[in-house]
Structure 1
């Protein structure tokens, strides 16, 4: 397939193994079912290398693929050297809220702006942030990634983070719908279960999603968590959660990403094809296949999926609509310098 072939974004997000894409990886990126690429720490040596990598990925298609990363701050931040700011864990924003609410909102906006501006300066389009899970003190995999225990506080701080991301030209992704904070197991290695009722979940953990909606959160990622009082399937594979509750009941019209289909919490749905089919049938717009290029190739060879115009339109809205500042220009930008100063208040 010609690299200039004009294709809409597909429904599968894949990754690359190293610091530059191989010829085989470029061919994979040109597959019509691919719609994005997720990067990891292994894909980063320094800013110049990252810019070259993202440029090569964007050049693989006439309509550039969306390049994403898990870059939240705290322990989930893929790029940390060569000038990247180490943004504190999101819990520090909740802690600051208890001391000074207005400064916490400023700091939250600053965190979003710094994260997004630095990523975009090196060609990364999107980050899977912020986490909206409540800090129940039960989930080790969430832990300090959670903003606060109170859903109203989470919604306000998340809105401020999303505003900061948007100021740098990047959309926000709320995760993990309807909430991963209560379930104790880590869905990377097990299948978490949350046995609370639908009414309890909607009134507490899922409340921020209803308050923020797609105007603030252009993307949402469901949890690989089973809520047996609602459905026997994990939320990301559940039409009840995605189509009936998120889209119909809460009126959400943004992108829905599956969580990584190679995680242990996803294996309940079957092989990689069955997992992708279940997620797409549930209402997800894009499925992630991370760290297993063999499974990515198997899925691309076996999945029969025609582009859905509504899904394509939602995915296109995530792509940056304006040029990013270069790294050098960013260092002189007054908003960026103020954002760094606001972040510094988190350590006081």
Structure 2
């Protein structure tokens, strides 16, 4: 390969599953003319930087998995060098692709009581097998961010928790599970995106901590991962002036942070991948196409993710980088492709998922994370009140006939919602959180929040919270409830385990 071809192996632009034929052909051109090294798949253009909770656009989303596999086959068939296929699937393919197995969020896995590392590694392994079967070589996960800021708009449920050592161990367990399945993974978002209040998709977050504080919290999980042999780290678009000579510069384009700190001081010898280069924290800084790509490359990134200016980026790097620098990075990428079996990729067919085994794992996990976090549950008293017609079940934002509701009806032998709330002595409140993101009170409206708080103050209530536990702060004083059960997610298996606490 000539130098431009070697540089092109660093590029992994976005490929959208739901797109126009014209845009598919533009990817064809990048492969044929620029000879890019890989592609990062997203659901659609409008949802590229979002998870699967809410889509702003209305799409024909039928057969998303089959469409992706068809595109992978199409693109691999025309590429001289097999493409490294990556996806951002922190909780599985389901983060981007409907009707595929979804696993618990990191915050949920962080709540596992027993055998956490073993179970989290198993989740990573299963997730990896799903992805490998779908033609994905690299999962851009897990998050090693320590969620020390509850108002963080972009991390929250994506973090394993607030304890740096726990986050370190859990994220490495997830990483090792995916590696065991034969796919690549990476810790992100170096140097740590947990204690921020700005979404880096929209602007530049700044962490105002000194280096000692950063080493004790944000950097600890990454150093732990490096010491455990982690081979890939993603650098985020966030500024840490204490690490960059006082400059408020995105870490993803800071040579002080990537080369001097991560590679030299912390001893990382693996591959560094940039966070998406279309994100406004960095994309709006450079008016000349290709300049951002060169700056990111020079800072120490080996793989450039989601570049919007591939051709110009290759040209800028070719003009400015040394031949030695290009060759070193090219060899690292080729070695990664060999390790992940990219160079022997064959024509793919849509995988069959073992849904029964997946449900068994979900039940096993839920039995470890669903728990009473405040108060007690007296099932004998509840049965007595149900028999007397003094127990009611009030559900918010959930389906009328949820698994949880059906199990309560079966347990207490009557439809609890038929009991008038005025005559009820005790109320079981099930709350199915509309969103796992903190925006707009996690999707909860003021009227509903007021109603729940008023109910808790006027009646003896047990709250069953199916969602991000960070949202509990919007529900007033938890001591107003007789008991609080945290289900973390609305999986049917989690609902079943939560209802079992009433037995």
Q: Same fold (TM over 0.5)?
A: yes
In structure 2, the CA distance between the partners of 1:48 and 1:341, relative to structure 1 (3 Å rule), is: same
Aligned in 2, Cα 1:206/1:188: closer, same or farther, shift over 3 Å? same
Partner of 2:185: 172
The corresponding residue for 1:321 is 341
* 2:194 matches 1:181: yes
Greater C-alpha radius of gyration:
2
1:301 deviates by: 5.6
Q: Describe the superposition over 1:138-181 as per-residue Cα deviations: whole angstroms up to 9, x where unpaired.
A: 41200100011111111111121112101210122110001011
User: 2:361 and 2:316 mapped to 1: Cα distance?
Assistant: 46
Match of residue 445 from structure 2: none
Structure 1: gaps of 5 or more residues? 1-5
Write the distance in 2 (CA, Å) between the matches of 1:157 and 1:318. Answer: 24
Q: CA deviation at 1:259?
A: 1.2
Q: Following the alignment from structure 2 to structure 1, what is the Cα–Cα distance between the partners of residues 76 and 175?
A: 24
Matched residue of 1:37: which SS? strand
CA distance, structure 1, for counterparts of residue 198 and residue 64 of structure 2: 34
Give the whole-Å Cα distance in 2 for the aligned partners of 1:245 and 1:31: 36
Q: 2:208 aligns with which of 178, 195, 207?
A: 195
Structure 2 unaligned regions, length at least 5: 46-60, 370-493, 498-503
Structure-1 residue corresponding to 2:102? 86
Alpha-carbon shift at residue 117 of structure 1 (Å): 1.1
- 1:246/1:252 CA distance change after superposition, 3 Å: same
Closer, same or farther: CA 32–153 of 1 in aligned 2, 3 Å = same
The CA distance in 1 between the partners of 2:316 and 2:256, in whole Å, is: 26
Q: Map Cα deviations across residues 259-299 of structure 1 (whole Å, 9 max, x no partner).
A: 11111111364234221111111111121235x4xx44543
User: Is 1:111 matched with 2:111?
Assistant: no
Q: CA deviation at 1:47?
A: 3.0
Decide which of 121, 124, 133 is 2:136's aligned counterpart.
124
Higher relative contact order (CA 8 A, sep 6+): 1
Q: Which residue number in structure 1 is paired with residue 327 of structure 2?
A: 309
Q: State the superposition RMSD in angstroms.
A: 3.1
- Provide the residue aligned with 2:32 in structure 1: 30
- Structure 2 CA distance for partners of 1:94 and 1:106, relative to 1, 3 Å: same
CA contact (8 A) 1:130 1:175 kept: yes
SS across alignment from 1:260: coil
Contact 2:69 2:349 survives alignment (8 Å): no
Q: State the SS of the aligned residue for 2:131.
A: helix
Task: Answer yes or no: is the 8 Å Cα contact 1:174–1:220 preserved in 2.
Answer: yes
Q: How many residues align?
A: 334
SS at match of 1:308: helix
Distance change in 2, residues 1:301/1:343 (3 Å) = farther
Aligned to 1:3: none
What are the Cα deviations for residues 122-152 of structure 1, in whole angstroms up to 9, with x where unaligned?
A: 1111110000000112412001000111111
Verify the 8 A CA contact 2:17 2:64 in the aligned structure 1.
no
Q: Name the TM-score, length of structure 1 as normaliser.
A: 0.85
- How many angstroms does 1:119 deviate by? 1.3
Cα gap change, 1:327 to 1:32, in 2 (>3 Å)? closer
Residue 222 in structure 1 maps to residue 235 in structure 2 = yes
